[in-house]
Amino acid sequence: MRVAVVGGGVVGLACALELLRAGHEVTLLVRNEKEAASRVAGGMLAPFSEGLTDELLEFSVESLGLWREFLETVKELSNRSVFFSKGILRVAKDERELDELKKLRSYYLKRFCSSAELAEGEELGKLYPKLSEKLAGGVFYEEEGNVDTEELTEALFTAFLRLGGELRREGALRVNRDGERVLSVKTHSGKLEADYFVFAAGAWTKELFDVPVFPVKGQIARAELPPDGPPFVVYARDAYLIPREKDLLLGATTERAGFDARPTVKGASALTGNALSVLPALEEAEFYELRVGFRPGTPDGKPVFYFGENFALVSGHYRNGILHAPLTARLVFLLIERREVSPYFQKFSPYRFRRT
Ligand code: GLY
């Protein structure tokens, strides 16, 4: 079958790869691969540190379970290395926050994770001595992790091309539909026809479909990773620090500012100030740059999934697109290959926003 995938972020790429591996002819439509949120994303696989609950937690934990295999497959198919680190330390700044973390930890341990080491007060220093002494404590979630998203997107593109996928570098302007059937996608150079269409257009989804997906600006800073920098991701309520091979990411702002792509002084000040309150020793690290990305937000922070006769729409992954990519690709594969409709299409249906 000829399948067209619209969107060159990790979700679109993961779908495209899964369909190529199933033997389909896949064309990937990418307006500008540099603008995808995936490139700027911190790459945390963090359902617990993000404090997720209900069906969003279930979806996220299920996808986390697919992640190691997904990564191995991408590395093997691309023959590229992709940096991955295991474990995230979720810290609390005061006793009240620590109590909340403890409650969530007990809830997660009942059903969703098997390892969540609690460190109170001075015990935190045993996990990583450079942390601020003012922190009240934290929980180390061993099953969480972090992936270098620039390396991941490069590897996904490489794997896609190596498996014979066709990459078209142009934007989708409009979806030509006859009810629940997509006829074609209008592009800058003409139109794209296919037997099946997958739309993974992230924050730009609203340009193609009438669903409440909107951009949530995130500024993230890149700095030098000091020799005694954190050995794992440290996640506080207003800052996260992500050590990678080549740098340290300090994330991230959450702003409703449309597609304003300007890094701001306020953003830089918030990111560095918050990061220093967690790790004071960072003060002398070299500051590299500030990056801006657009998360695909929704009114309730949960994804938006929809399908018609010959198309699927997967969007609204908000803060967790990297984490959600393997399961999203799996659901699209099952829908196309086996006509299996995952219950998540119902749970994350856009119709939920029309109920009063
Ligand atoms: N997942 C972290 C963020 O969106 O900032």
pLDDT reported for residue 33: 81
Q: Give the residue, by CA position, lying nearest to ligand 1 atom 5.
A: 252
Query: From CA 85, how far away is CA 201, in angstroms rounded?
Result: 28
CATH of 86-142+215-297, one of 3.30.9.10, 3.90.320.10, 2.60.120.200, 3.30.465.10: 3.30.9.10
Going by alpha carbons, the residue nearest to atom 2 of ligand 1 is 319
This prediction has a pTM of 0.97
Judge whether 170 and 31 are in contact, CB under 8 Å: yes
Which region, left, alpha or beta, applies to residue 59 given φ > 0 means left and ψ of -120 to 50 means alpha? alpha
* CB contact at 8 A, 108 and 48: yes
Protein residue with least CA distance to atom 1, ligand 1: 319
**Residue 71 in 3-state DSSP?**
helix
Domain ranges in the chain? 2-41+151-211+300-355, 86-142+215-297
DSSP assignment of 34-51, as one string?
Answer: GGSHHHHS--EE-TTTTT
Q: Whose CA is nearest to atom 4 of ligand 1?
A: 319
- In contact, 171 and 187? CB cutoff 8 Å: yes
Residue 252 CB–ligand 1 contact under 6 Å = yes
Phi and psi at residue 185, to the nearest 5°: -120, 125
pLDDT at 355: 63
Element (H, E) at 183: strand 181-187
Q: Could you give the 3-state DSSP secondary structure of residue 309?
A: coil
What is the Cα–Cα distance from 95 to 170, expressed in whole angstroms? 51
Chosen CATH of 2-41+151-211+300-355 out of 3.40.190.10, 3.40.30.10, 3.20.20.70, 3.50.50.60: 3.50.50.60
Instruction: Kindly give the confidence (pLDDT) of every residue in the chain, 356 residues in length, as a single tens digit, with 9 standing for 90 and above.
Output: 999 999 999 999 999 999 999 999 999 999 988 888 888 999 999 999 999 999 999 999 999 999 999 999 999 999 999 999 999 999 999 999 999 999 999 999 999 999 999 999 999 999 999 999 999 999 999 999 999 999 999 999 999 999 999 999 999 999 999 999 999 999 999 999 999 999 999 999 999 999 999 999 999 999 999 999 999 999 999 999 999 998 999 999 999 999 999 999 999 999 999 999 999 999 999 999 999 999 999 999 999 999 999 999 999 999 999 999 999 999 999 999 999 999 999 999 999 998 65
- CA 183 to centroid of ligand 1, rounded, Å: 35
Q: Do domains 2-41+151-211+300-355 and 86-142+215-297 have the same CATH topology?
A: no
The pLDDT value given to residue 32: 85
319 CB near ligand 1 (under 6 Å): yes
